[in-house]
Amino acid sequence: MINNYNKDAKVCMKCGKEFKESQKDIRDNYGKYFTNKHIKDIVDRRLHEMAALESTLGSDSTEKEKGLVKNRQKKLMNEIREIDEITFKRLSHE
């Protein structure tokens, strides 16, 4: 439950006291993607490349082309995993 008066303060559900989430709490819960602009840019570039690869495929693509795209996308997802595990889990539904 979030207090409407102070955006940074939250209320404990058990005792009703207000508290602020620290940067570490935010990073632990939401990942580096939301707390580090450099990490966000790197992950966004990987996601953009994945989307561009996907857009090159069509109904006339061969199995070899599809396999190459799938392998590259797996490599990009593994790079995202190394950068930010929480964002990777959110993207891959693991």
The torsion angle over the Cα atoms of residues 54, 58, 63 and 68, rounded to 10 degrees, is: -30
User: What is the predicted pLDDT for the residue at 12?
Assistant: 64
Contacts of 26 (CB under 8 A, 6+ apart): 34, 35
pTM exceeds 0.75 for this model: no
Residues of the chain with pLDDT under 70: 1-14, 17-20, 94
- What's the rounded Cα separation, in Å, for the pair 11 and 17? 5
How far are the Cα atoms of 29, 65, 83, 88 from residue 47, in angstroms, in the given order?
21, 19, 13, 11
User: What is the predicted pLDDT for the residue at 28?
Assistant: 75
User: What is the predicted pLDDT for the residue at 66?
Assistant: 95
User: What is the predicted pLDDT for the residue at 73?
Assistant: 96
- What's the rounded Cα separation, in Å, for the pair 40 and 36? 6
